[in-house]
Structure formats: C-alpha cells, structure tokens
Amino acid sequence: MDAIRENLPLLAQGIGTTIALTVLGYAFALILGTVLAVARVSPIPPLRGAATVYVEIFRNIPLLSLLILIAFGLPDVGLLLPYFWCGVLGLTLSSAAFVCENVRSGINTVPVGHAEAARSIGLGFFGTLRFVVLPQAFRSMVQPLVNVFIGTVIGSALCSAIAVQEVTWVTQTLNIRYAQAVLMFMIAGAVYLLLSLGGAALGGVIERAVAPGGKDRSSGRAALDVTAGAQA
C-alpha cells in the first residue's frame, strides 16, 4: 500500500488525464459522429459515400493501431501533435464512427411520415432534423451512446502506448518500481469501473428524462439539451 500512499498525486493526475481524454474524445466524437450521421442520411450521394467510407475505415481500424499511426505516422507527413492530443484525436476518430452508426439507426426509428409532415409545414432539411427527427431519435440512442462512452473510457487506456500519462500509464510506471502488479491493476481497474458505471448511471438518468409519455414538446427539447450537457 506504500506504493499507493506515496504516489497519490501521480495517481490523481493520471485519473485526471484519463477523465480529460475520455470527456474530450467523447464530446468531439458526439459532434463529429452526428455530422457524419446527417451526411449518411442526406440525399446527396457523394456525401453519403464519404461518410460511409469514413465509418468503414475508422470502425475497422483497431484503436491501438490508429493511435500509433497518429502519433508516429502523422509526423512523417509534417503534423506533430502533442501525445495527449494524439490520444484525443484517436479516440474521437474511432468513437465518432460508432456514434454515427448509433445516430443513424436512431434516425431510422423515426417514422417517415413525421419527416413528410415536417416538410409539408415548410421545414427544410436541417429544420426537419433539428425540430422533428433528432429530438425523437435521441431517445432511442441514449443506451447505445452510453455503450460508446464506455468504449471511449476503456479505449483511453490504450493511450498509455503513446506515452499519454493516464491512469494505466501511471500504473505501469509504479509497477516497474514497486513490483506490485496485482494491486496496481486492481486500482486502475476500479477507476475504469467507476468511470463506466458513472457514465451508465448518467445515461439512465438521461433516458428517464427523455422517455416518451411526458409532454411531447418539452421532452423533445430535453433530449437536445441533454446532449448538449453531455458534450460540455
């Protein structure tokens, strides 16, 4: 236990970095993923194609390979990012592909008639999305998006491979000195468990808040506000 007590500041800093990686990576992934999903349902074939290519590429590259490509491949083409931002970029690019597919399947749960009704009252493409389709779609996306969040939490551990000093990195570093692998990794495991459980609990709260059955207009607005909250 001395290993823990003497290194509390380092551990705390590692946990902070893990949270920062996760929150930034997930927030950017929500934004990018939603934009991609809009592209995927848009009526413009090249746009749909581009978004599909993106999703298939970043959904199928192992996150570790992607991180190493970003950290050690991009400098070869002239872009040298700090390790932390390499980690955020990798998490964002990868999670955005999953967010996109979740949002797209959420959009597909909204009956076509709703969109047609929206058009008939004069709303354009973005108006239809903003006021009619996305508010309904977000309800069915809460739990899948929680899964992406948990994936981002867990994926952040891989950033230790590109020297981001998050909690797994701290654990490895302390273990080299104290040779207490089981204890160290139980602590790291507990941190990830707490973060994931926290995300899942928050997801549950959001899901109840946006559940249908309340006043339609207000719950629709809540769904959008809540997403804004999760990004902050």
Partner 1 sequence: MTPTTFRPGRRAVVAAAATALPLLGLAACSSDTGDGPDLGGGEGGDEGDGDSVPQADALASGPVAADDVIAASAWATAIKEKGQLVRGGTVANQVFSLASTTGGMPTGFDAGITQLLAKYILGEGGEEKVEYIDTTVETRETMVQNDTVDCVIATYSITAERLEVIDFAGPYYLSGTSIQVRAEDKDTISGPEDLTGLKLVTQANSTGIQAIEENVTDPADVQTLPDNESCVAALKQGRADAYVLDQGVLLGNSAADPDVVVVGEPFVDDPYGIGLSQENEDALDFCNTFLQEIIDSGSWESLWTATVGEVIDGEAPEPPVPGDLPV
- Nearer to partner 1 by Cβ, of 79 and 193: the residue is 79
Cα–Cα distance measured from residue 178 to residue 175, given in angstroms and rounded to the nearest whole number: 5
Q: Count the site residues for partner 1 by CB under 8 A.
A: 62
User: Does residue 219 belong to the site contacting partner 1 (CB under 8 A)?
Assistant: no
182: phi then psi, degrees, rounded to nearest 5: -65, -50
Annotate each residue in 96-115 with x if it binds partner 1 (CB under 8 A) or - if it does not, as one string.
-----------xxxxxx-xx
User: Does residue 185 belong to the site contacting partner 1 (CB under 8 A)?
Assistant: yes
Cβ at position 42, least distance to partner 1 in Å: 5
212: phi then psi, degrees, rounded to nearest 5: -65, 155
129 burial (CB, 10 Å; 0-12 / 13-18 / 19+) is buried
* Triad 186, 94, 78: Cα angle to 5°: 110
Asked if residue 27 lies in contact with residue 96, where contact means CB atoms within 8 angstroms, the answer is no
Q: Interacting stretch for partner 1, rule CB under 8 A, among 41-49, 145-153, 189-197, 208-216? A: 41-49
Q: Interacting stretch for partner 1, rule CB under 8 A, among 61-69, 149-157, 189-197, 202-210? A: 61-69
Structure tokens at 53: 């290519």
* Triad 204, 198, 19: Cα angle to 5°: 135
Asked if residue 42 lies in contact with residue 125, where contact means CB atoms within 8 angstroms, the answer is yes
Q: CA 132 → CA 69, 92, 124, 136, distances in Å?
A: 40, 27, 11, 7
Can you tell me which of 27, 161, 200, 202 binds partner 1, judged by CB under 8 A? 161
Can you tell me which of 1, 5, 8, 179 binds partner 1, judged by CB under 8 A? 179
User: Does residue 21 belong to the site contacting partner 1 (CB under 8 A)?
Assistant: no
User: Does residue 131 belong to the site contacting partner 1 (CB under 8 A)?
Assistant: no
User: Does residue 73 belong to the site contacting partner 1 (CB under 8 A)?
Assistant: yes
User: Does residue 154 belong to the site contacting partner 1 (CB under 8 A)?
Assistant: no
- Interface with partner 1 (CB under 8 A): 35-36, 38-39, 41-44, 46-47, 50-51, 53-54, 57-58, 61, 68-69, 71-77, 80, 83, 93, 107-112, 114-115, 119, 124-126, 128-129, 133, 160-163, 169, 171-173, 175-182, 184-185
